[in-house]
Amino acid sequence: MLHINHLSFASPFVLAPLAGYSDLPFRLLCRQFGAGYCVSEMISCHGLVYQQENTLRMLASIAKERPVAFQLFGADPEVMADAAEIMASFGPDMLDINMGCPVRKVTKRGAGAALMADPRLAEAILTRIVSRVSLPITVKIRAGKDSHSINAPAFARMLEESGASAITVHARTWSQGFSGHIDKDIISQVKKAVSIPVIGNGDVLSYQEGRQMLEQTGCDGVMIGRGALGNPWVFQQAGRPDALGEIVAGAHAHLALIEQFLPAEKILGYIKNHMSRYFKGLPGSSALRQAIFTAPNLASVKQQLEPVRL
Ligand SMILES: Cc1cc2nc3c(=O)[nH]c(=O)nc-3n(C[C@H](O)[C@H](O)[C@H](O)COP(=O)(O)O)c2cc1C
């Protein structure tokens, strides 16, 4: 069983922070399908301290999705600590600090994966946050800057000493972005380097691959990102059903949650993107995906997904 501080999770499988995807409806869905907990999209520390409406909207949560972690990104220790306090006041169970995002608009300001190249700044950020917030603070890192500067084990040890309650390792380097393969050995090395829980991450596409990662690396939990898109069944041993009707039912359940919690008619493009992922790669589904993409409104998307139509 995965434990982080006083929290115990029913499953060691965790939904990754996914900008544009891991919002309240998708987190609720993944929890219903068995995720131990879910992590929000990355949320800007500046957006929080300036109380920007779009940023505050990302903190929407309900009791049913708990335990939940909100993820914070930024590079200024004072602003990060102020933002962490604001974030904590919205009632999550944990805060996660993003020290792994390779996207240029994040790293050019010294945040995300750039913090792995500046351990002192990373330490200052974490220390400041831990001194201001009493929730467990987890940190998501990568293997290192590039293949010549793998520093995840030493970096993780520094984070543990600075008060982190768990570490997630996406076992790619910053310079790899999302290309190439993960190096599972990095996860084993981090696990050996610290005594707090370690969550392995990268390229897990099924429950069985998740179990393999647990066994091969000794990690305590497994975080799943892209493998969960259009596939919340990844959190269940039986995996994605074969029957198209069951897949449609899953997509329908997701859509119902989107409608309940988001201004659905305003986000038609986002809905189409999520919905079409359920059918990606399924034989004979190209007409259905095409119909979803060309649907003029939400009612039409829903019509495509009516189970009785199959
Ligand atoms: C569309 C997308 C959005 C992402 N957004 C975030 C994010 O907000 N914060 C973060 O730490 N990582 C983010 N990531 C990285 C994932 O959390 C994860 O580390 C990475 O995708 C590797 O795991 P996977 O192979 O299971 O997808 C994102 C990845 C993708 C594909």
- Annotated domain spans of the chain: 2-235, 244-309
- The CB density around residue 119, as the number of other CB atoms within 10 Å, is 16
Cα 70 to middle of ligand 1, angstroms: 14
Best CA proximity match to 211, nearest among 232, 236, 229, 245: 236
Report domain 2-235's class: alpha beta
Q: Catalytic pick from 30, 38, 45, 101?
A: 101
Which residues lie with the beta carbon below 6 Å from any ligand 1 atom?
Answer: 16-21, 41-42, 71, 98, 100-101, 140, 170, 201-204, 224-227
User: Which residues contact residue 242 at a Cβ distance below 8 angstroms, ignoring those fewer than 6 apart?
Assistant: none
| Contact of 148 with 103, CB cutoff 8 Å | no
State the pLDDT at residue 308: 41
Atom of ligand 1 nearest to the CA of 16: 17
Distance CA 135, CA 102 (A): 26
Residue to probe by mutation, ligand 1, list 226, 231, 270, most atoms within 8 Å of CB = 226
Q: Which of 8-17, 21-30, 163-172, 278-287 has the lowest mean pLDDT?
A: 278-287
Best CA proximity match to 257, nearest among 7, 4, 22, 98: 22
Instruction: Tell me the pLDDT tens digit for each residue of 154-213.
Output: 999 999 999 999 999 999 999 999 999 999 999 999 999 999 999 999 999 999 999 999
**Residue ID of nearest Cα to ligand 1 atom 30:** 18
Instruction: Tell me the pLDDT tens digit for each residue of 211-257.
Output: 999 999 999 999 999 999 999 999 999 999 988 889 999 999 999 99
Confidence (pTM): 0.97
- Residue 308 DSSP label: G
Q: Is 101 a catalytic residue?
A: yes
Distance CA 269, CA 213 (A): 34
Centroid of chain to Cα 184? 19
State the pLDDT at residue 307: 57
